[in-house]
Chain A
């Protein structure tokens, strides 16, 4: 799966999070920090991770989630890693 495809899927997930300013989603890239740049509340991160599991049909390791930072690049890496494991 292409990284850009994954980012597009992430944008779809983020648009369901009502506490994010959806206008900011237009300019998202690999360096975007979900918390710092999009004002995602840290308590919403786990919901985004769970929705990513559903959307990309993967299952993440608990340890990988614990170490995850809020950068888009990190989330894309995590999804690709999980897909490879399958």
Chain B
């Protein structure tokens, strides 16, 4: 039986401090940071620990909230100043869903799909997010529970604009596809998980096309949640706050954004002369299975790589790591990469060092950075990885440790501190999430 392959034919996104995808690409390859001091966080500096983030304002995306006359501070809908999204679709959307719709239209445009493709039964929408629609919920609940307003004043759009899967639902209603419409939720692996699920749908023949990815709208509530866990970076300038692998790392930078890709069955894409941005070689996901909600697992990641490389002998030229800038996560990840790929012959990119951790959108936006690396044949850096530990990590000295026995500093040559050119045929993408979930995908340049 002919084995189906899956091509990436379009991409789009919403990125902090960037006006569009080209602007994002230009900033990333020139080693810039998209992280800033956040005024909302500074205003509450007495309550919280960290004040830097990769935030995006409504204004920066061309959106203007319309506040309800009935309630305090409740955005009834949004005006799209750039006329991309019709009013009836804006009415059922929160900001993250609007981002997903804008990015989906960009990806579809790049793919060159007409309504024949987008409205087909063979086209699916698989888009998720990490959190719920907090902005809308917070305002609605404040008015109902604290101000005791009549429920009908809160109105009929709190469910559609805050439910899990709202991004997929809104995109599906916008493009009117007749295939699947669903969302994968896997915490910080969500972005890659949705693309992976869409890949499986196409590979298995259930769908021929998919609009897939992840979104995480700016939410101070989410930021506060992570801040309370004491896991956010503090004590550095904004651009130096996200420092994967660096000895002085002490937490991640909470960020927001959206990444959407258009996937298509390879032969179909080829036949119509589509521009193929990449071909997905493999996708695998698993669980650590050790009962730990938060910490990474070396054996879990070993098994992840085993699954990813199972039916292929491709060796990636670049590994785009999850690399969050957390004390625990980064070391385990680097050592698991070295354990499977060896000590040289590839490089590691850590895009979170430039834009922080976009949570539900992270895996999707980072998959887009992998496509950009394939396009430009340039390796993205691990910014701020200034000092690497010259001593072994504590866990490397335990009896049960089965991984590499060199300190992180031995792998300096794998971690570029600025972007550089080299031939790149294949990029491996890694993302992990709370709950002990691990996901990995390999994507290559189209060779034929």
Contact = CB atoms under 8 A, between A and B. Distances in A.
A47 interface: yes
9 smallest beta-carbon distances between A and B, as pairs: A18-B87, A50-B153, A19-B87, A50-B152, A46-B156, A19-B88, A47-B155, A43-B156, A46-B152
Contacts of A41: 88, 91
Interface string B72-116: 000011010000000110110000000000000000000000000
Contact of B155 (A18, A19, A46, A54): A46
20 contacts: A16-B66, A18-B77, A18-B79, A19-B88, A41-B88, A41-B91, A43-B91, A43-B157, A46-B156, A47-B156, A49-B152, A50-B150, A50-B153, A51-B69, A51-B70, A54-B69, A54-B70, A54-B153, A59-B150, A65-B152
A44 interface: yes
A53 B88 CA distance: 24
Which of A44, A47, A53, A65 gathers the greatest number of chain B CB atoms within 10 Å?
Answer: A47
Nearest to B78: A18
Interface string A42-83: 011011011101100001000001000000000000000000
Contact of A44 (B79, B91, B153): B91
Given A43-B157, A46-B156, A47-B157, 13 more contacts: A16-B66, A18-B66, A18-B90, A41-B88, A43-B91, A44-B156, A47-B156, A49-B152, A50-B153, A50-B155, A51-B70, A53-B150, A54-B69
Contacts of B157: 43, 47
B76 to A, nearest CB: 8
Contacts of A59: 150
A17 to B, nearest CB: 9
A53 B153 contact: yes
Chain B interface size, as a band, is: 10 to 19
B37 to A, nearest CB: 34
Nearest to A42: B156
Interface of A: 16, 18-19, 41, 43-44, 46-47, 49-51, 53-54, 59, 65
A49 B151 CA distance: 12
Interface of B: 66, 69-70, 76-77, 79, 87-88, 90-91, 150, 152-153, 155-157
Contacts of A54: 69-70, 153
B371 to A, nearest CB: 36
B369 to A, nearest CB: 36
A54 B76 CA distance: 16
A51 B77 CA distance: 15
Contacts of A51: 69-70
Contacts of A65: 152
B91 A50 contact: no
B70 A18 contact: no
Nearest to A43: B156
Nearest to A13: B69
Nearest to A41: B88
A81 B96 CA distance: 42
A53 B71 CA distance: 13
A16 B90 CA distance: 14
A50 B91 CA distance: 17
Contacts of B66: 16, 18
Nearest to B89: A19
Contacts of B90: 18
Contacts of A16: 66, 69
Contacts of B87: 18-19
Nearest to A16: B69
A16 B79 CA distance: 12
A20 to B, nearest CB: 9
A30 B88 CA distance: 25
A41 B91 CA distance: 10
A59 B70 CA distance: 13
Contacts of B70: 50-51, 54
B152 A18 contact: no
A19 B91 contact: yes
A19 B90 CA distance: 9
